[in-house]
Amino acid sequence: MEGSGTVGGQQDRFFFVHGQHNGDIVMEVKLQVTSTDGEDSYAGLMIRESSSPDSIYYAAGLNNDNQLQTSHRETSRGTANVFVGQSVGESSVWLKITKANNEFDAQSSSDGTNWEPIGDSATVEFSNNADLWTGVFVTGGANVLASDLLISEFDVITEYGVCEHAVCDEDWLSESHTTADEVPFEADDE
């Protein structure tokens, strides 16, 4: 997947492969950043309230300096809060977001088994908790390979396929569970 745009501030514009899920969610993905060409590169997992560029969201990923990062916007049109954590030496890392009610935690792992927290937990209250947008995002010139995406809702587990292309041009998420957007994520100009 190749990214463009940014996440943060008061508005977002980025590439987002997503599905809709609700309730308590655990998301995991193995992410390999193959290159970053922009200083605003950021790639990882995200849960959003809507496709609006000023949507409430929570995200965890890697920034252009290969540092673990979380960000979230608590109100529509609010400014995003950003936490930048430690650098990861590996070219690939496992990421996990856990949403329990309105509490979010992010974790990273080098092997997908042993997890370490990324920053502190955050409280983000979505007004529409029924159909949240969940998936993998990429911004600012980053090229990433995302594999082994797993999204769990309570006892329902959905496993997704593997994208092995620099730019995913096929529906690599199982059509029985969701569809993939193949265009940059942005709202129409009003």
Mean residue pLDDT of the chain comes to 76
Of the candidates 84, 7, 9, the residue with the CA atom closest to the CA atom of residue 48: 7
Mean pLDDT in residue range 150-166: 54
Residue span of the structural domain in which 40 resides: 14-177
185 belongs to a structural domain = no
| Number of other residues whose CB lies within 10 A of the CB of residue 113 | 7
Within a domain: 9 = no
Specify the higher pLDDT residue, 35 or 131. 131
Give this prediction's pTM: 0.78
Q: How many whole angstroms separate alpha carbon 162 and alpha carbon 164?
A: 6
Q: Taking a C-beta distance cutoff of 8 angstroms, is the pair 150, 15 a contact?
A: no
**Residue 6 falls inside a structural domain:** no
What's the confidence (pLDDT) of residue 163?
Answer: 43
Note whether residue 170 is domain-resident: yes
Spatial distance between the Cα atoms of 10 and 54, rounded to a whole number of angstroms: 6
For residue range 48-105, what is the model confidence (pLDDT) as tens digits?
A: 998 888 899 999 998 878 889 999 999 888 888 889 988 887 668 999 999 998 999 9
For residue 154, the model assigns a pLDDT of: 55
CB 45 within 8 A of CB 60: yes
Asked, for residue 87, whether it belongs to a domain, the answer is yes
Looking at residue 138, its pLDDT comes to 86
Helix (H) or strand (E) holding 22, with range, is none
Structure-token pair, residue 117? 């927290």
More confident: 38 or 97: 97
pLDDT at 130: 67
| 41 found inside a domain | yes
**Residue 168 covered by a domain:** yes
Number of structural domains the chain divides into: 1
Q: What is the CATH number of the domain that holds 120?
A: 2.60.120.200
Give me the pLDDT at residue 88, please. 84
Tell me the pLDDT tens digit for each residue of 103-151.
Answer: 999 999 999 999 999 988 999 998 766 688 899 888 877 777 777 878 7
Task: Establish if 126 belongs to a structural domain.
Answer: yes
* Rounded-to-integer distance, Cα 131 and Cα 78, Å: 21
